Amino acid sequence: MSTSLLSVVIPTRGFSRSLSRCVRTLVRQWPPDIDGEIIIVDDGSGDSFEGVLLDQLVPVRLVRMGENSGPGVCRNLGVAESKSTWIAFVDDDCLLPWGWLQRVSRLCSSDQKPCLVGGRISATHPRNWFSQATEDLVLNPSLQDHTWHVVTANAVVHRAAWDEVEGFDSRFRTAGGEDWDFSARVSQAGFDVIYDPDLWCYHENPRSFGPFLERAARYGAAHAMWLRIRSTSSSPAAELASEVSNSGVSLLRRKVSFLLRTHRELRGRGKGISRSLRSTALFGLFMLVFDLSAFRESRRLRNGRIPQ
């Protein structure tokens, strides 16, 4: 296969209306001068995807995982199946606004050196409290220790950076944690990790307590996995993991300080006081479940082996 400019990789766990809408919003804005393709990676569902694959103006390919392996592993397979210089990642529940692909094409210009770029994520239900809190404080790039940690529901990476770090760590078998780990390793490999707020899309955020707290539990378990994996390696990420897990500062004091700072940052970003207080309170609950899940998963990992 000849090398093309851009491949868009979309992991999914079966056919859905949201996937169909995602592909449609992407295909409709694909200009004829961009050589590329869309690669859908089915995470072991075995569903039929004819409604997405047929009658498209842009090549859409389907590749299948033999078993459920998680979005990070699906993205690895999608990239392996592509030959493009740049790879974009979106989730199957994203809607791409008009201009998204134009922004990506600018990032993929020939004078752009290899890097990882993460975009902004907006909620498809902006007035729902849980959706707001997820947009404000969970599902958007965060700056930690002078490194941006992007969200690969909306991101673009150069193949050179991807090849250098060998993609996502396959030990992350659920969504959450693999983004943080991938961003850290790309940065440590010497590539720029950039946040571009002009590269934005809509995302289907949780809209009730159950899905909101389920995400918190999943992310907490993934964070425990990240700490465990990095603590066994000799790298800057391992040093960071050690700092996070061995801090002597009072946990309660640290969390209260963190939430107060979070509220101030939201106000500084122009959020109203009601929304800032509400999102911060929900995020406090999110972090409580996150920490409990991380503690439980850490104990489980200490008593067993790290998945290979």
Do 64 and 36 touch, CB atoms closer than 8 A? no
| Amino acid 250: pLDDT | 57
Q: What percent of the chain has pLDDT over 70?
A: 89
- 130: tokens are 């849980």
Does the pLDDT of residue 241 top 70, yes or no?
Answer: no
Name the H helices within the chain. 17-27, 50-53, 71-81, 100-107, 129-137, 159-165, 178-188, 209-231, 236-246, 251-268, 273-302
Average confidence score pLDDT of the chain: 87
Which of 77-86, 154-163, 230-239 is least confident?
230-239
What's residue 108's pLDDT?
86
In percent, how much of the chain has pLDDT > 90? 58
Task: Give residue 40's pLDDT band: very low, low, confident or very high (50, 70, 90).
Answer: very high
Query: Pick the residue with more confidence: 289 or 34?
Result: 289
Residue 98 is predicted with a pLDDT of 94
Give pLDDT, residue 231. Answer: 72
Could you give the CA distance from residue 133 to residue 138 in angstroms, rounded to a whole number?
A: 7
59 Cβ neighbours under 8 A, 6+ residues apart: 36, 37, 38
The helix (run of H) or strand (run of E) holding residue 57 is: none
Identify the pLDDT of residue 34.
80
Give the C-alpha distances (Å, rounded to integers) separating 128 from 117, 133, 162, 204, 279.
Answer: 28, 9, 36, 11, 11
Give the containing element (helix H, strand E) for 147.
strand 147-149
Predicted TM-score of the model (pTM): 0.88
More confident call, 253 vs 285: 285
